Amino acid sequence: MTDERARANLQPLSLHVPEPRFRPGDPVDFADVAVPPVDAARRPDTAADPRSFHELAFGLVRVLELDGTAGGQWNPRLSPDQMRRMLRNMALTRAFDERMFRAQRQGKTSFYMKSLGEEAVSIGAAAALADDDMCFPSYRQQGILLSRGCPLVDMMNQIYSNRGDKLMGRQLPIMYSEKRFGFFSISGNLTTQYPQAVGWAMASAAKGDTRIAATWCGEGSTAEGDFHSACTFASVYRAPVIFNVVNNQWAISSFSGFAGAEATTFAARAIGYGIAGLRVDGNDALAVYAATQWAAERARTNGGPTLIEHFTYRAEGHSTSDDPTQYRSAGEPNAWPLGDPVVRLRDHLIALGEWDEERHAQMDRELAEEVRAAQKEAEKNGVLGHGMHQPFETMFEGVFEQTPWHLKEQQAQMIAERQAAGI
């Protein structure tokens, strides 16, 4: 029997509930966010034992200084043409996001999610992966599709759920599925893509292929069981997969502390599974490229998986359904110490003498016009706000290879009811 007298001097237990540092109306000071110099992180050999570079899960892999210069062991030394392509793809993603956001506000679609401030995460990775590597994205990696050449009109048709939507209106807007571009179907159920990516990677290895898988999730999703199941399988079978954790500080209304950010970094989760872990400046397109290139080489040479935490910031709402002014300080986006990914790569090219403000402004105008023209073309197929664009009976298709009798019966009944109602 417990002796209560032995506990007489103990203080009562208390439960810790994480609380963000800044709430609406609070002044913002990110002085405690460590931004190490670009030469602080060493670049180990891709075949190195993960136990030999644990410090990379706690530091910050960087290439671009905030003054536009580049350096350090991780500098990929890309050609100006390569960097200009990455800059253009980031600017295109931003222009696409802005127009589709406005389309939602105009009632043309029901939902949209921007990637403002996070464009380097997808663009840098896409540039470093092979075109036939398989991507298992979350819902803020539209930059991968744009980098791989997916037609803007096709993406807009899906957002509008119109007559041109190849998914026939069955997916929530922005939840693309593009086999042509190695882009697995996006799911609204958090982190289901992680075990799927591991399974695909294991199959690629079992077949003796050379393609690898890469997957993305938000930092909040690392609390899901699927994340940990995926890490276990990837570790045990040394699956050729890259785990990307996009730590943008906020889930839809809760900050990263609820997923464990107060205790340690998200890259540190790799250590417990015995896999390689890197923590990267997610607003540095060259650092994202370098880390992805390193992880891809490791995976392709049977070195196993890598977990990359992209330390970035969600500059706007979680989606068009979210109002961040209700839970965070309005001063946060502009105070984020790692800056804007588009501006940082632009300034680097200008510092090299390979770009200038005039050309950048001209590029922005051209991209805005390209996106506008694509929107005009897509809207010829209709918009979500104008009602259903697919034949009603198609809702029963595409589930089974051969439609079972009971669904055929339900289909016939519903069609008859609609006809009787004059619909």
The residues annotated with a catalytic role in the active site are 314, 318, 327
- In terms of DSSP H, where are the helices of 54-163? 80-105, 119-128, 142-147, 152-160
Q: Give the whole-angstrom CA distance, residue 122 versus residue 14.
A: 41
Give residues with Cβ within 8 angstroms of 1, minimum separation 6. none
> Which one, of 317, 188, 309, lies nearest residue 250 by Cα?
317
**346 touches 364 (CB < 8 A):** no
Q: Which amino acid is present at 50? A: P
Q: What is the DSSP string of 317-331?
A: -SSTT--GGGTS-TT
DSSP state of 388: -
Name the strands in the sheet holding 134-136, side by side, starting at the edge strand that comes first in the sequence: 134-136, 213-218, 241-247, 306-311, 276-281
Both tokens of 209, joined, read 């292929």
Which two structure tokens, joined as six digits, stand for 378? 């897509």
User: Per-residue DSSP letters for 12-41?
Assistant: PP-------S--TT-----TTS----TTSS
Q: CB–CB of 163/382 below 8 Å? A: yes
* Token code pair at residue 4: 């209560």
44 CB contacts (<8 Å, ≥6 apart)?
Answer: 52, 53, 56
- What is the 8-class DSSP label of residue 77? -
CA distance 102 to 90: 19
Q: Is residue 138 a contact partner of residue 221, using CB atoms and an 8 Å limit?
A: yes
